[in-house]
Structure 1
Amino acid sequence: MIVKKISLVVAALFSMSMFAQETSEHAKEIKPEVKLSYLDSIKSTFKKDDLASRVDSLWMNELVSLDIYDDLTKDIQTINKDVTVDEELPTELLKQRLAAMNAKSPFEIEYNQGLENIIKSFLKNRKKSFSRLMALSEYYFPIFEETFAKEKIPLEIKYLAVVESALNPKAVSKMGATGLWQFMYGTGKQYALKIDSYIDERSDPLKATAACSDYMTRMFSVFNDWELVLASYNSGPGNVTKAIRRSGGKTGYWDIRNYLPKETQGYVPAFYATMYLFEYHKEHGINPERAVVKNFETDTVGIKNQISFKQLADLLDMPQSQLQLLNPSYKLNIVPAYHGEMNFLRLPKDKIAAFVSNEDKIYAYVEHESLVKTIPTRLAAKIAPKGKSVREAVESSKDIQFYKVRKGDNLGTIADKYNVNISDLKKWNNLKTNAIALGRTLKIKSDIDASAKVVKEPKSIPAIEKNTEEAIASNDDKDKVSIQTVEYVVAAGDNLGSIAKKFGTTIADLKELNDLTSNNIGLGKTLVVSKIVTEIQEPVTTAIASNSVDAFKKKAPSAKSASEDYYVKKGDSLYSISKKYPGVTISDIKKWNGIKDEDIKPGMKLKING
């Protein structure tokens, strides 16, 4: 009897487990259908290659940082070459090393007290900077050496780019000199470098280096002395010839140095000091940082249609900062397509394979993107009148606005201001090229008020004050869109790289979130470091009913209602500050701050209402 009962219990348990297993398997078979975005559906059809190359985000922050450039530039201009620097380096040992460098160089490298002081100053204050510069040099120096070797120019000239730009192709001096080799606008044009609204080839490593090589060759034929060639590169050949005359006809750099402009007096010594630190970095405990991007690991591809870095980053699964590093000559993060001309994009070789294998699909996605407007499809479907397509609803929700072109404007900045596409601007105004005349009035169909702040990512959702919410829904749909922002006040010693590192983001994202056009940030400025967009099922607080996009626009805060403090930086003017704030004029700033003339000083705090 007991055995029979035990058998029944075992049978019951077995049948229950079998039933549970069948139920589980049946549940596994029923999966909710996941709707893919157009981007995901395109990428799911991509042909994959086995190669993979991931770039360390912290390293990318270092690559696009301008702090080394600012520090080195300041050092070269302010170091007192006649004041001894207390740093452990015996003079006799330094003389021996300089003699060894001189033996294998066409330059006349000789010891003097000024050179020793600069070398010791760099060792005392810039060891970490040179560690980072040596990592960057692994990418740029092979480019320089290949070009110089073809033209029979001393390979040591490569160190000049460290002095000029700290190996940053986006470096811009106070005078407007741009790129690795710091060409002025006129000089760039003189050496056939293209400079327009989209492209500045002064920032192109290959083309700018070729122009630099051409300049060096011409100047050596004039002076027949490489030190004087370097001096002429910094101050111009005219100042060098004046210094020669004032010195009584002497032609040695150290003989005419005191007759050269003050900056040039420290220029050649800084070049030699840089060469010394690269040659003897191990002896001074300078360990180069890891270089994950090397030139031979990249290649170029011709671009047939206009495409943005954002679209490429989404499609190829790579950071925009890497695209910016490899393609610094594209000013607006867009590769344009010119009729009859081919523009090229540099990518890591594994991404080249992905691009070439899926080129047609990539251009199809770009074309699709150009048709997508700022208003989301889901919202457009809600507010669309019956019988109208979503596309028609989007167009009907837009207001026509007019904008008068001002000095410094281009289609890219205007499109960004109104959150529309450049191709649409051209279509609405019958423009065949990207050129626009000063004073021309442009027609803009936009559902965004230019005076209101607009979130960049995603473009369809308006910017919200910190820790507040704005709901967009129809009467029968209670989906709520919430945006939470995290802000940070810039402290002394901060730069975009350190802030990005602190909050786990990138410099490119910080610049996009805060509409920054450069890496310079003022002390005390409030930065948005992240925005979190969520959909919450809650009672609607503010509704936009059918055909009432304007209801939201009335609630959007006016730019004039906000106030911000701006700390004047060296080189600022009221004009340059006004350009940072759309809709703000010089007279506005003067009125808000009680300024009668345009005299402002670094460190001065200005109130900006807008």
Structure 2
Amino acid sequence: MKKIVLLVLFTGSLFGQVPEELPGKEILQAALFSDYDIALIDSLLLETKYRSPLYETASYLIEDAEKKEVPSVVLSTEVLKERLEKINTKTPFNIGYSPVLERVIKSYLKYRKRYYPALMAKAAYYFPMFEKYLDQYDIPLEMKYLAIVESALNPTAKSGVGATGLWQFMYPTGVQYKLKVSSYVDERQDPVRATIAACAYLSDLYTIFGDWDLALAAYNSGPGNVAKAIKRSGGYRNYWNIRPFLPKETASYVPAFYATMYLFEYQTAHDLVPEAPQIRFFETDTIQIKQTVSFDQVSEKTAISSALIQFLNPSYKLGIIPFVAGKDYTIRLPRKNSFTFIENEMAIYELAREDAAKREKPLPKYFEMDKRIRYTVRNGDFLGKIANKFGVRVRDIKRWNRMKTTRLKIGQRLSIYPRKF
């Protein structure tokens, strides 16, 4: 029975919505706490981190802050306590005062304050869209700050372990949440699709733990590590009580989220003046294309800057929107320019045909890789060779196939999730 429940937990609760016919939340939670279950979950998720360049910086600052004196920032402990208490009364997160959080907030104010105006301009574009889907999934609206910790609101951000997009999805997890990746399109970089997937994933984590702070920690380190921390703490289910038992990265991750929430809530008090956003999400619209076109071709015929088109359409990896039978690929443009595109649509397609005729090499073939490849090891194969063939890392192949060594046998079948073509 234990193995059956664990299998359902992994394929349903972690990577998709929990089926209605499953046992109640208490049974799912109980299944997490045996040594056997925890070891298996950790073996699958330990290296599946959601990391970003911003997070690595944030982690460093937090660790540094915990070792040093509080930076010289004009913010008294008493005032900070009052402000955090006000935030705490209106959020389901446990954002009460702690010396660690005070150090993190003051470190951000001292070392990163100059980055926030530009970051807040991006937030003015993305946050209304985030809130729409967070509300639909009954997730606290404050969870929008998670995308700042994950990616600094950069939809094309890629971490060292392959996590991609605003919400830093790994390839296998993205596939489970219906984010497709092809030679032209990476839907993990699509702000709307990735946000919907993140909401579904966070909702599943809340189903497991029944606590948003723990769901937040599990988003970073996986539910197995959070379950272990709960067990090792003696059964506590409060983040601050289990924090000493979490991986170091996750112990830093949640305070980074709290600190970000505080700085956005009290931006005026700290003279954090947002830059004016280039455009707002509600000022855009999508148009379905009828022929493969590039951003430059659209720009030439509509006078919309290529940079703005790129900003609004980050999921197209090559700056090209492919036309594929059965697919509904669209271009997002400023609403005020939509009629300009429609009026010049035929001219855009004609320009695309002319450019194609002049091109020495044809455009890359469209490949969609939303499922794993089963590769059979041949004579002369080794992991490095196979990794190069599919554009992945050796450690990824080992993790996907639960390999403890790099030794291969002829005829051995490997699961591969290609990332580039």
**TMscore range, shorter length:** 0.7 to 0.9
Task: Name the one with the larger strand percent.
Answer: 1
Measured at CA, do residues 279 and 337 of structure 1 come closer, stay the same or move farther in structure 2, by a change above 3 Å? same
1:76 maps to which of 41, 59, 68: 59
Supply the distance in 2 between the matched residues of 1:139 and 1:435 (Cα, whole angstroms). Answer: 30
Measured against aligned partners, the alpha-carbon deviations of 1:127-165 in whole angstroms (never above 9, x if no partner) come to 111111111101000110000111111000000101110
Is 2:264 the counterpart of 1:278?
A: yes
Q: 1:213 maps to which residue?
A: 199
Letter of the 2:70 counterpart: V
Amino acid at match of 2:102: E
Distance 1:74 1:124 in 2: 14
User: 1:434 Cα shift?
Assistant: 4.9
The AA in structure 1 aligned to 2:62 is: I
Question: Could you tell me which of 78, 93, 116 is aligned with 1:130?
Answer: 116
Q: Which position in structure 2 is the counterpart of 1:232?
A: 218
Instruction: Please give the alpha-carbon distance, in whole angstroms, between the structure 1 residues aligned to 2:182 and 2:137.
Output: 28
Rounded to whole Å, the distance in 2 between the matches of 1:362 and 1:328 is 20
Say if 2:180 and 2:368, in contact at 8 Å, map to a contact too: no
Q: Does 1:420 align with 2:406?
A: no
Say if 2:34 is the partner of 1:93. no
Q: Judging changes above 3 Å, is the alpha-carbon distance between structure 1 residues 434 and 205 closer, same or farther for their aligned structure 2 residues?
A: closer
Q: Distance in 2 between matches of 1:122 and 1:204?
A: 29
SS in 2 for 1:347: strand
Q: Which runs of structure 2 are paired with 1:51-200 in the superposition (5 Å)? A: 70-80=53-63, 81-82=65-66, 83-86=68-71, 87-200=73-186
**Residues 61 and 104 of structure 2 are in contact (CA less than 8 Å); yes or no, is this contact kept in structure 1?**
no
The answer to whether the 8 A contact 2:292-2:323 is kept is yes
User: Residues 308-359 of structure 1: CA distance to partner in whole angstroms, max 9, x if unpaired?
Assistant: 1121121111222111110011111110111111101100112211111222
Report the TM-score, using the length of structure 2 for normalisation.
0.73
Alpha-carbon separation, structure 2, partners of 1:71 and 1:129: 11
Q: How does 1:296-307 map to 2 (within 5 A)?
A: 296-307=282-293
Q: Which amino acid aligns with 1:257?
A: R
TM-score normalised to the size of structure 1? 0.51
Q: Which amino acid aligns with 1:200?
A: D
Contact 1:72/1:163 (CA < 8 Å) preserved in 2?
Answer: yes
Match of 2:33 in 1: none
Q: Which runs of 5+ in 2 are unaligned?
A: 1-51, 374-383, 390-421
Residue correspondence of structure 1 range 382-421 to structure 2 within 5 A? 420-421=361-362
Please give the secondary structure, in 1, of the residue aligned with 2:333.
strand
Are residues 151 and 117 of structure 1, via their aligned partners in 2, closer, same or farther at CA, if it must alter by over 3 Å? same
Which region of structure 1 is more displaced relative to structure 2, 244-253 or 363-372?
363-372
Give the 3-state SS of the residue equivalent to 1:282 in structure 2: coil
- Counterpart residue identity of residue 110, structure 1: G
Map 1:311-390; keep pairs closer than 5 Å. Answer: 311-373=297-359
Letter of the 1:420 partner, please give it. K
SS at match of 1:183: coil
Between the two proteins, the alignment pairs up a number of residues equal to 320
1:78, distance to aligned residue in structure 2 (A) = 4.5
Q: Structure 2 CA distance, aligned partners of 1:248 and 1:151?
A: 32
In the alignment, the residues of structure 2 paired with residue 196 and residue 368 of structure 1 have an alpha-carbon distance, to the nearest angstrom, of 25
The structure-2 alpha-carbon separation of the partners of 1:118 and 1:435, relative to structure 1 and needing over 3 Å to count, comes to: closer
Instruction: Please report how far the alpha carbon of residue 71 of structure 1 lies from its aligned counterpart in structure 2 after TM superposition.
Output: 4.8
Residue 370 of structure 1 deviates from its aligned partner by 1.5
> Counterpart of 1:283 in 2: which secondary structure?
coil
> 1:230-278, CA deviations, whole angstroms, 9 ceiling, x for partnerless residues?
0000101111001111112111110111111111001111111001100
Cα displacement (A) at 1:226? 0.4
Give the whole-Å Cα distance in 1 for the aligned partners of 2:149 and 2:69.
22
Is 1:171–1:179's contact at 8 Å kept on the other side of the alignment? yes
Q: Following the alignment from structure 1 to structure 2, what is the Cα–Cα distance between the partners of residues 255 and 350?
A: 52
Query: Would the aligned equivalents of 1:73 and 1:163 in 2 still touch at CA under 8 Å?
Result: no
How far does the alpha carbon of each residue in 1:50-100 deviate from its partner, in whole angstroms, 9 at most, with x for none?
xxxxxxxxxxxxxxxxxxx63553122452243332222100000000000
Are residues 289 and 162 of structure 1, via their aligned partners in 2, closer, same or farther at CA, if it must alter by over 3 Å? same
Separation (CA, whole Å) in 2 of partners of 1:365 and 1:354:
16
SS of the residue aligned with 2:331? strand
C-alpha change, 1:329 and 1:245, in structure 2 (3 Å) is: same
Please give the alpha-carbon distance, in whole angstroms, between the structure 2 residues aligned to 1:130 and 1:289. Answer: 9
Distance, in Å, in 1 between the alignment partners of 2:264 and 2:156 is 23
**Which residue in 1 is equivalent to 2:189?**
203
| Mapped contact 1:77–1:263 kept (Cα < 8 A) | no
Return the letter of the residue paired with 2:53: D
Structure 1 CA distance for aligned equivalents of residues 275 and 89 of structure 2: 29
Structure 1 ranges of 4+ moved more than 3 A:
69-72, 433-437
Equivalent position amino acid for 2:342 in 1: V
Determine which structure has the larger helix proportion and give its number: 2
Aligned partner of 2:279 in structure 1 is 293
For 1:105 and 1:221, locate their aligned partners in 2 and report how far apart those are by CA, in whole Å.
18
Structure 2 distance, partners of 1:71, 1:237, is 23
Where 1:284 maps in the other structure, the secondary structure is: coil
Output the CA distance in 1 between the equivalents of 2:263 and 2:135. Answer: 23
d(CA) in 1 for partners of 2:368, 2:195:
28
DSSP-derived class of the 2:269 partner: helix
Q: Deviations over 1:435-456 (max 9, x none)?
A: 899xxxxxxxxxxxxxxxxxxx
1:260 aligns with 2:246: yes
The CA deviation string for residues 518-565 of structure 1, in whole angstroms up to 9 with x for no partner, is xxxxxxxxxxxxxxxxxxxxxxxxxxxxxxxxxxxxxxxxxxxxxxxx
Change (3 A) 1:282 1:214: same
Where 2:285 maps in the other structure, the secondary structure is strand
